[in-house]
Chains A and B, each alone.
Chain A
């Protein structure tokens, strides 16, 4: 960016400052204050003010910014630098968002560079990279940014040529004046353009979709591709600073535990170890706070790891030392068999069940999971003259900045959070506990640079775990086999307990992830949420509570179809009923993914279409070889509709293989179809992994699994041999976008389990499948 024209303004769009409302962060704050009230049996969020409710990006902390001066810089050599303010963790956002800007800007992608924004939401808008929101919330701001910059360049050219701006047009990094045949490169215009006022939002001329150069095409490789394949890409764990020290931390094995006493004598004898530092444990709730423990700081990582091994620590394990997954599961089952708090109620379920010709019930268990990104959490921090600089693989740079500032007692302006590439995130890296550790250790070293590396053992033992759940379903069928009553009890410790007093009940976002908002046309339907107490840090894992709900509901529908003697696909379509748009509030979903119920109703027509599309593509009903079976599942989450048909094979020894998976997706307009496909392929394999192998369990309050031999992940030999992604066509770019990072995951496990049932007659109701199919 040498010689670049400073196209970057000093102050962010003032409008963005006023955009503050509910979001995960504000939301968690509400929760901590006990801000939920119960009305008519349904959780409702009380707002601090009476302002009209905001949705989507408007409702996120610091909303959105669409000022081109903040996001675009053009150098005199024509290089266009576009800022990406969302974190890259494999979803391709550092490519896809800048592509949108480049398209409207009519920039030549070959001359585009991408700069990663530091954590600064006042300047850039919301940066919490989770909830499958980046493209959904920033497609339009990015388009406006590109269009505004293009119009400024056109205006500058017209002024230089002294012709009306209507006579010029931008085309591929040039502004042309067709009447005279003149042309100027963007680099030649940047200086003059930067001095012009930013055009009003209302005067922007966005492209017609037919004129899109990059949007919807998926022809550009990821911007970091070359660096990745050559080993030059820099992740948080790769950070190197002058005189940097390396640290690992021994953390309390049980949530709420603390150090009673420790002996560092042997650790200090390890060559390379510089210092041993005790870190205070934070009182519960856990929030984003570091866990405390004893840190070993050394000249290199290996010495720190060896030093940690040599520590002698006596722990006070605290109130959760009795957490035992087997016992807990039994307690959840007991809870699920008794009535609980009603969270949705329509018709008369008891009468419906009593009057049914046939009654079925089933309980589905899904264990805790760890996100286990291949790059474990890591962060480097130095503090120079009262200014703290952070390098971290974080999904939440602004939150990280706020929390580091608080812990170091520095003004937020004195904390800079540089966002590196993330070697996977999946929700883990939304929580900045590991960054705060690095900040505290740098502080303990008087500001010297310290990098904290989490070993894999640390990552698996101290994650913010996916919840553990029992979903109990009961249904009544009439004489024709139609479902006339549906009772769902969902039992799972809540994310809410990580951030506030444990109500033992699930919070609205959890209830809105596929349990209350089940869009079935069943006259009598009740959802209950019995109590479950949290004993570890419950956090969000890619697609969150949708995982156990899709597993349970989509398995149960297959069980009902079998009981009714009907084809599963036909039965599922009948349950969905005729195509209609349902207001989520009518299903007691007050959350709706944070989106407007008017813009994003639940559209059963779209869900039907993905089911029909995947059935056609996969050849639903086709003959399969002996030992093979086809299984179907569909799920709506993150305002995207997904249906899956899996083909499995189970051999005589009970070994499972997956020859093929078909996935149909309706996510509304597609910006980068190539990365959408890669996300769905990846979600499929992560779904296979959690369905077949994934389990974190606790004994004596501590996590049992400590590395990949015990917490196994699907490898190439067990992954589906073929994954076919079918994107439902959509080029109506004025329609709302759906999410993509997460919604591919939930339907995989039930599709597999339904396929296993078709192949073997064996019904899996407990994840992971592990050796449940084995015959010996």
Chain B
């Protein structure tokens, strides 16, 4: 039995220690906002935050994050940066099918927390781990810039 701290709540999970966090979240805890896309750290659909850093849940065994603070897309509405990112995503109509967008939002939120005013090159670097088959990249870029501008304004 491994205890994980997910979105501020401690939860015990009865899965083998090598189980990837992705499947523990999805099948074990019902947090299906974190998506499967490739299983081997190639597409970013499973991006979560571990101690504030973007991490790929599909290659993160639960034993490695037992004492860490894990945050998923389901908690982003309560996160000051996450809220702005979600709002700019809606504002600019980023999602098409939407499947990769939780991962994109998690990656973008982590980027903005570390780098509140990212350049195009910074955005490319941070976001190119995430694949969007619908091709929403131009709007993702614009939405990150809009969220960055919104975060600059005192709310």
Q: Give the nearest-CB partner of B40 in chain A.
A: A707
- Find out whether the CB atom of A230 lies under 8 angstroms from the CB atom of B138: no
CA distance A426 to B97 in the complex (A): 11
Q: Using Cβ atoms and an 8 Å threshold, which residues of chain B touch A210?
A: none
- Is A52 close to B, CB under 8 A? no
- Find out whether the CB atom of B139 lies under 8 angstroms from the CB atom of A424: no
Q: Using Cβ atoms and an 8 Å threshold, which residues of chain A touch B72?
A: 231
Q: Using Cβ atoms and an 8 Å threshold, which residues of chain A touch B20?
A: 302
Contact with A along B49-88 (1 / 0, CB 8 A): 0000000000000000000000011101100000000100
- Find out whether the CB atom of A90 lies under 8 angstroms from the CB atom of B134: yes
**Given A225-B90, A231-B73, A301-B27 in contact, is the A716-B39 Cβ separation under 8 Å?**
no
Nearest-neighbour CB distance to chain A for B19, whole angstroms, equals 5
Q: Give the nearest-CB partner of A220 in chain B.
A: B93
Q: Using Cβ atoms and an 8 Å threshold, which residues of chain B touch A681?
A: 135-136, 138-139
Contact with B along A669-683 (1 / 0, CB 8 A): 000001100110111
Nearest-neighbour CB distance to chain B for A55, whole angstroms, equals 29
Q: Which of A96-104, A116-124, A719-727 contacts B (4 or more CB under 8 A)?
A: A719-727
- Is A692 close to B, CB under 8 A? no
- Find out whether the CB atom of B95 lies under 8 angstroms from the CB atom of A229: yes
- Find out whether the CB atom of A234 lies under 8 angstroms from the CB atom of B100: no
Nearest-neighbour CB distance to chain A for B120, whole angstroms, equals 8
Q: Give the nearest-CB partner of A684 in chain B.
A: B135
Partner of A89, one of B43, B74, B97: B97
- Is A396 close to B, CB under 8 A? no
CA distance A456 to B131 in the complex (A): 13
- Find out whether the CB atom of B39 lies under 8 angstroms from the CB atom of A456: yes
Which of B42, B45, B98, B133 gathers the greatest number of chain A CB atoms within 10 Å?
Answer: B98
- Find out whether the CB atom of B133 lies under 8 angstroms from the CB atom of A713: yes
Partner of B95, one of A225, A707, A713, A717: A225
CA distance A301 to B31 in the complex (A): 14
Q: Give the nearest-CB partner of B94 in chain A.
A: A229
CA distance A144 to B95 in the complex (A): 30
- Is A329 close to B, CB under 8 A? no
- Is A539 close to B, CB under 8 A? no
Q: Using Cβ atoms and an 8 Å threshold, which residues of chain B touch A272?
A: 15-16
- Find out whether the CB atom of B124 lies under 8 angstroms from the CB atom of A424: no
Q: Using Cβ atoms and an 8 Å threshold, which residues of chain B touch A709?
A: 40, 42
- Find out whether the CB atom of A373 lies under 8 angstroms from the CB atom of B97: yes
- Find out whether the CB atom of A300 lies under 8 angstroms from the CB atom of B23: yes
Q: Using Cβ atoms and an 8 Å threshold, which residues of chain B touch A234?
A: 32
Interface residues of A in 685-725 (CB under 8 A from B): 685-686, 689, 707-709, 713-717, 719-723
Contact with B along A211-235 (1 / 0, CB 8 A): 0000000000110111011111111
Q: Using Cβ atoms and an 8 Å threshold, which residues of chain B touch A221?
A: 90, 93
- Find out whether the CB atom of B36 lies under 8 angstroms from the CB atom of A686: no
Size category of the A interface is 35 or more
Q: Using Cβ atoms and an 8 Å threshold, which residues of chain B touch A301?
A: 23, 26-27, 36
Q: Give the nearest-CB partner of A677 in chain B.
A: B93
- Find out whether the CB atom of A228 lies under 8 angstroms from the CB atom of B98: yes
- Is B145 close to A, CB under 8 A? no
- Is A374 close to B, CB under 8 A? yes
Q: Using Cβ atoms and an 8 Å threshold, which residues of chain B touch A372?
A: 133
Nearest-neighbour CB distance to chain A for B63, whole angstroms, equals 13
- Is B96 close to A, CB under 8 A? yes
- Is B128 close to A, CB under 8 A? yes
CA distance A714 to B100 in the complex (A): 14
Q: Using Cβ atoms and an 8 Å threshold, which residues of chain A touch B112?
A: none
- Find out whether the CB atom of B105 lies under 8 angstroms from the CB atom of A682: no
- Is A423 close to B, CB under 8 A? yes
CA distance A374 to B134 in the complex (A): 9
- Find out whether the CB atom of B33 lies under 8 angstroms from the CB atom of A232: yes
Nearest-neighbour CB distance to chain A for B8, whole angstroms, equals 16
Q: Using Cβ atoms and an 8 Å threshold, which residues of chain B touch A246?
A: 27
Nearest-neighbour CB distance to chain A for B125, whole angstroms, equals 8
CA distance A302 to B73 in the complex (A): 21
CA distance A717 to B102 in the complex (A): 19
Q: Give the nearest-CB partner of B132 in chain A.
A: A374
**Given A301-B23, A374-B133 in contact, is the A229-B86 Cβ separation under 8 Å?**
yes
What 12 additional pairs, Cβ within 8 angstroms, besides A302-B27, A374-B37, A456-B43?
A222-B93, A224-B98, A225-B98, A229-B76, A272-B15, A372-B133, A375-B35, A376-B37, A455-B39, A456-B37, A681-B139, A686-B135
